[in-house]
C-alpha cells in the first residue's frame, strides 16, 4: 500500500497543476518600443499566471497581421483599426477585443530643414509610401480632409524598411510613418526630424488594436478574457516603469538602442486614451471613436461596408 501511495504521489508531483494554453501574438511590425509591454508581461509572469504560454512573433504590417490572424496562423494580432475594418467588411471573421491605442500615432515625417510644417507643404514634394499598409490606406483621408491637390504630390513606393534611408538620403522629401517609431529612428541617426500627426490634422482614428478570430471568441471566451487581463496588466506595468519594459524588449531582440526604443514607448503611452475613453480601463474602445474611424474610411479611404461600428470591436472582455 505504501508503495502504491508513493507512486501516486510521484506522478502527482511530476504533472503540473494545470497545463498552460499555448497562444501566439503577431505584432504589427518588427519588434520596437511600442511592443515592450508585452515582453515585460512575459518576463514578470503575467501571461503565465493567467495560464497562458505566450509566443510573440514579429509582423510585416497591420494588413498582413490581420490576414494572418484571420487565417488562424496566430491566436491574437496587433493591428491598426483600419486594417481590421477592411477585413471585417469582407466577412473575414475577426474582431478587435482591445482598442489598445485610441489616438493615432500616424503622421508625415520629414527633415526639419525641408520646411514641411503643414499639410499643404506636401504639394510639390516627393512622399514615400508603402502599398497596402495602414498609413497609405489612411493617406487619402488625410489628403481629402486637408484639401490637398494630390496631383501635385509625387508618391514613391518604398519598402517599409527603406523609408527612413530614403528620407536621410534625400531621395524623398517626407515619408508616411509613426511619430512613435520612424520619427525617433531619424533622430537616432543624428538628424533633426519634423513630425506632422494625422490626429492633429483632422484624421484621428483608433490606432493599434488587439484582434482575434470570431471562432476563438465563441469557442474560448475565457482564454480571450485571460489574455486581455494579462495584457492590461502588462501595459499598466510598462506605464509605471518604461525602463523595465525596454530592458525586457532588448533581451528579446539584440541590436536595439535603449533611448530610441524608450522614446518610442513613452510617445505612445498617452495614446492609450482618447478624449472619449479617458478614465476607462486600458484597451477600452469608445463607440464614437470607432464610428468616426469608419466614417473617415468610408468617405476618403474607399471602405465599402454597411456594417455598424459595433461589428469591428467589443469591450466584452474588459472589466465593466
What are the boundaries of each domain within the chain? 9-103+205-311, 106-201
For the chain, report the end-to-end CA distance as a whole number of angstroms: 52
> Which of 93-107, 133-147, 222-236, 303-317 has the weakest average pLDDT?
133-147
pLDDT of 206 above 50? yes
Q: How far apart are CA 34 and CA 265, in angstroms?
A: 5
pLDDT at 132: 74
What's the average model confidence in pLDDT over 205-219? 97
* pTM for the predicted model, two decimal places: 0.86
pLDDT at 161: 84
Alpha carbon 286 to its chain centroid, in Å, reads 17
What's the average model confidence in pLDDT over 87-104? 97
pLDDT of 61 above 90? no
pLDDT band at 88 (very low <50, low <70, confident <90, very high): very high
Closest CA to 293 of 228, 199, 212: 199
Closest CA to 210 of 130, 308, 287, 317: 317
The CATH code of the domain at 9-103+205-311 is 3.40.190.10
pLDDT of 269 above 80? yes
pLDDT band at 240 (very low <50, low <70, confident <90, very high): very high
pLDDT tens digits, one per residue of 222-236: 999 999 999 999 999
pLDDT tens digits, one per residue of 45-55: 999 999 999 99
Q: Which CATH superfamily is domain 106-201 in?
A: Periplasmic binding protein-like II (3.40.190.10)
**CB 286, CB 73: distance < 8 Å:** no
Same fold flag, 9-103+205-311 and 106-201: yes
> Which of 5-14, 162-171, 231-240, 253-262 has the weakest average pLDDT?
5-14
pLDDT of 128 above 70? yes
Q: How far apart are CA 113 and CA 110, in angstroms?
A: 8
* Look-up of cell digits 512573433: 57
- State the DSSP string of the chain: -HHHHHHHHHHHHHS-SSPPEEEEEE-SSSS-GGGHHHHHHHHTTHHHHTTEEEEEE--S-HHHHHHHHHTTSSSEEEEEHHHHHHHHTTT--EEEEE----S--EEEEEEGGG---SGGGGTTSEEEE-TTSHHHHHHHHHHHHTT--GGGSEEEE--GGGHHHHHHTTSSSEEEEETTTHHHHHHHTT--EEEEESGGGT-----EEEEEEHHHHHH-HHHHHHHHHHHHHHHHHHHH-HHHHHHHHHHHSTT--HHHHHHHHHHHGGGG--GGGTTSPTT---HHHHHHHHHHHHHHS-------GGGTB--TTS--
**In percent, how much of the chain has pLDDT > 90?**
84
* Look-up of cell digits 511619430: 179
pLDDT at 14: 45
What's the average model confidence in pLDDT over 53-59? 97
> Which of 3-7, 121-125, 194-198 has the weakest average pLDDT?
3-7
Q: How far apart are CA 284 and CA 268, in angstroms?
A: 16
pLDDT at 16: 45
pLDDT band at 17 (very low <50, low <70, confident <90, very high): very low
pLDDT at 13: 46
Q: What is the mean pLDDT of the chain?
A: 93
* Helices 242-252 + 221-240 axis angle, to 10: 120
Amino acid at each position: 500500500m505504501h508503495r502504491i501511495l508513493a507512486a501516486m504521489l510521484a506522478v502527482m508531483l511530476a504533472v503540473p497543476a494545470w497545463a498552460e494554453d499555448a497562444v501566439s501574438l503577431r505584432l504589427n511590425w518588427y519588434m520596437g518600443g511600442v511592443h515592450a509591454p508585452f515582453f515585460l508581461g512575459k518576463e514578470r509572469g503575467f501571461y503565465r499566471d493567467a495560464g497562458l504560454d505566450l509566443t510573440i512573433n514579429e509582423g510585416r504590417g497591420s494588413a498582413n497581421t490581420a490576414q494572418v490572424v484571420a487565417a488562424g496562423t496566430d491566436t491574437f494580432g496587433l493591428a491598426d483599426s483600419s486594417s481590421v475594418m477592411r477585413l471585417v467588411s469582407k466577412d473575414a471573421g475577426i474582431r478587435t477585443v482591445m482598442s489598445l491605442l485610441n489616438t493615432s500615432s500616424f503622421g508625415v515625417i520629414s527633415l526639419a530643414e525641408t520646411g514641411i510644417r503643414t499639410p499643404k507643404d506636401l504639394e510639390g514634394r516627393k512622399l514615400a509610401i508603402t502599398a497596402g499598409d495602414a498609413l497609405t490606406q489612411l493617406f487619402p483621408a488625410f489628403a481629402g480632409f486637408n484639401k490637398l491637390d494630390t496631383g501635385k504630390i509625387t508618391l514613391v513606393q518604398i519598402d517599409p524598411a527603406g523609408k527612413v534611408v530614403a528620407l536621410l538620403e534625400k531621395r524623398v522629401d517626407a515619408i508616411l510613418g509613426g511619430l512613435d517609431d520612424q520619427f525617433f529612428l531619424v533622430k537616432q541617426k543624428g538628424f533633426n526630424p519634423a513630425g506632422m500627426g494625422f490626429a492633429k490634422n483632422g484624421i484621428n482614428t483608433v490606432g493599434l488594436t488587439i484582434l482575434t478570430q470570431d471562432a476563438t471568441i465563441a469557442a474560448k471566451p475565457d482564454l480571450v478574457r485571460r489574455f486581455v487581463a494579462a495584457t492590461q496588466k502588462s501595459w499598466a506595468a510598462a506605464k509605471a516603469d518604461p525602463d523595465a519594459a525596454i530592458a525586457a524588449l532588448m533581451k528579446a531582440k539584440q541590436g536595439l538602442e535603449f533611448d530610441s526604443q524608450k522614446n518610442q514607448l513613452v510617445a505612445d503611452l498617452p495614446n492609450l486614451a482618447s478624449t472619449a475613453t479617458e478614465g476607462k480601463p486600458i484597451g477600452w474602445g469608445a463607440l464614437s471613436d470607432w464610428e468616426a474611424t469608419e466614417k473617415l474610411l468610408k468617405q476618403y479611404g474607399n471602405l465599402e461596408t454597411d456594417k455598424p461600428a459595433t461589428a469591428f470591436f467589443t469591450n466584452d472582455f474588459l472589466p465593466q
